[in-house]
Amino acid sequence: MNSSKTLGVGLIGYGFAGKTFHAPLIRAVEGLALRAVASSDAAKVKKDFPGATVFADPRQMIEADGIDLVVIATPNDSHAPLARLALEAGRDVVIDKPFTLDMAEARELIALAERQARLLSVFHNRRWDSDFLAAKFGVESGVLGRVTHFESHIDRFRPEVRDRWRERSGPGAGVWYDLAPHLIDQTLCLFGLPDAVQANFLLQRPGAQAVDWAHAVLSYPHHRVILHASMIAAGGSPRFLVHGDKGSLVKHGIDQQEAQLLSGMLPGNQGWGVDLDRMQIWNAAGECRGMPTPAGDHRRYYAGIRDALQGAAPNPVPPIQALAVMAVLEAAIESATGGTSRAIPLTDSERAAFADSQVKTASRKSA
């Protein structure tokens, strides 16, 4: 593909994810142009993007002239069928997390993308969160020594159940599908595949229809990873807690990009991604020092997609890495149902492909 070509993007869905994350980020990346949106609320789209064409039917948008990349930001149960339509139409595809509802759908899409020779990627934007970059520093810099314990929380205080698809009973609903893909993907980026996962889920709030409390332990040979998500936590939980044999890291504050987008800040504006909450590093003597937290920048995901489509870089989140997230997600569900730990359900060839993709991702970052 000509590296000078501006890539036309069609966005399906203009709800929370499409309006808050995808549309502003696409607009902020040079070489990408949001040309069309499939939405039932044309006025809402036109208010933000007067020049975009709005389609009521996603199929018509997928087939429209000038669309190179289709971005799917719709309820979870529609991810696979819409991605299938787009791939069959010869479009490159980005899907919001979670990839699909299950591994069978994910594997089907991966095979279809390979047959069609199209890019397929999943929007694991939280790799570029400031809080995760702080935890990553603790793991990779050696300042903590050998990691023995890694804990990652996304806790919120929303004691009232909302009437929205994420909190209704149905496929792909609940915090495990909504928040765990972030937690799992970040963990796999740092440590690779665990040996096993053991999970516990709960419907905690009065009137809850979907899982609103989730706790999972991922087993590695020399350490454990705890992933936790709750809707009744008024404060006090660190976002990340990392222990090693030379010290510990604590990161309390969360990445600010979502709050900045909701406030109307545009990606790239002064202060974008800046996190003033310093990470705390504790040494073996019990002494604590604060260190600046790296700035986050979700634009790096879409810049990576642009570069991949122009042949300048690999896919920033290749589908095998998203399939690995689905495998951990699914193993945890089986564990919570059966009450015992579960191995990660990937084949030997999938494990090898995942390991190879991580090497390529690491090589790109060090280049």
Domain range annotation of the chain: 7-123, 127-296+327-366
Please answer whether residues 193 and 108 qualify as being in contact, where contact means their C-beta atoms are separated by less than 8 angstroms. no
Q: What are phi and psi of 123, to 5 degrees?
A: -80, 75
Q: Residue 146: is its pLDDT beyond 80?
A: yes
User: For the ranges 79-88, 137-146, 230-239, 301-310, which has the lowest average pLDDT?
Assistant: 230-239
Q: What is the DSSP string of 274-306?
A: ---S-EEEEETTS-EEEEPPPPP-THHHHHHHH
Residue-level pLDDT at 365: 62
CA distance 152 to 165: 25
Q: Where are the beta strands (DSSP E) in the chain?
A: 7-12, 32-38, 53-55, 69-72, 92-96, 120-123, 147-155, 196-202, 213-219, 224-230, 240-244, 247-251, 279-283, 288-291, 342-343
Q: Quick one: pLDDT band at residue 329, thresholds 50, 70, 90?
A: very high
CATH of domain 7-123: 3.40.50.720
Q: Residue 73: is its pLDDT beyond 60?
A: yes
In which residue are the tokens 């909190």 written? Answer: 167
Please answer whether residues 62 and 89 qualify as being in contact, where contact means their C-beta atoms are separated by less than 8 angstroms. yes
Cβ neighbour number for residue 108 with a 10 Å cutoff: 14
| 297-310 tens-digit pLDDT | 999 999 999 999 99
When the pLDDT of each residue in the chain is averaged and rounded to a whole number, the result is: 96
3-state SS string over 209-231? CCCCEEEEEEECCCCEEEEEEEC
Q: Residue 201: is its pLDDT beyond 80?
A: yes
Residue-level pLDDT at 4: 65
Please answer whether residues 159 and 205 qualify as being in contact, where contact means their C-beta atoms are separated by less than 8 angstroms. yes
Q: Residue 2: is its pLDDT beyond 70?
A: no
Percent of the chain with pLDDT strictly greater than 70 = 98
pLDDT (average), residues 24-47: 98
The residue among 18, 10, 119 whose CA lies nearest residue 73 is 18
| Token pair of 123 as six digits | 């929007």
Cα of 233 vs its chain's centroid, Å: 22
Residue-level pLDDT at 362: 73
CA distances from 360 to 255, 346, 357 (A): 26, 20, 5
| Token pair of 38 as six digits | 């499939």
Percent of the chain with pLDDT strictly greater than 90 = 92
Q: Residue 275: is its pLDDT beyond 80?
A: yes
pLDDT (average), residues 27-51: 97
CATH 3.20.20.370 fits 127-296+327-366, yes or no: no
* Backbone CA torsion sign across 253, 256, 262, 265: positive
CA distance 94 to 106: 13
3-state secondary structure of 321: helix
Please answer whether residues 364 and 314 qualify as being in contact, where contact means their C-beta atoms are separated by less than 8 angstroms. yes
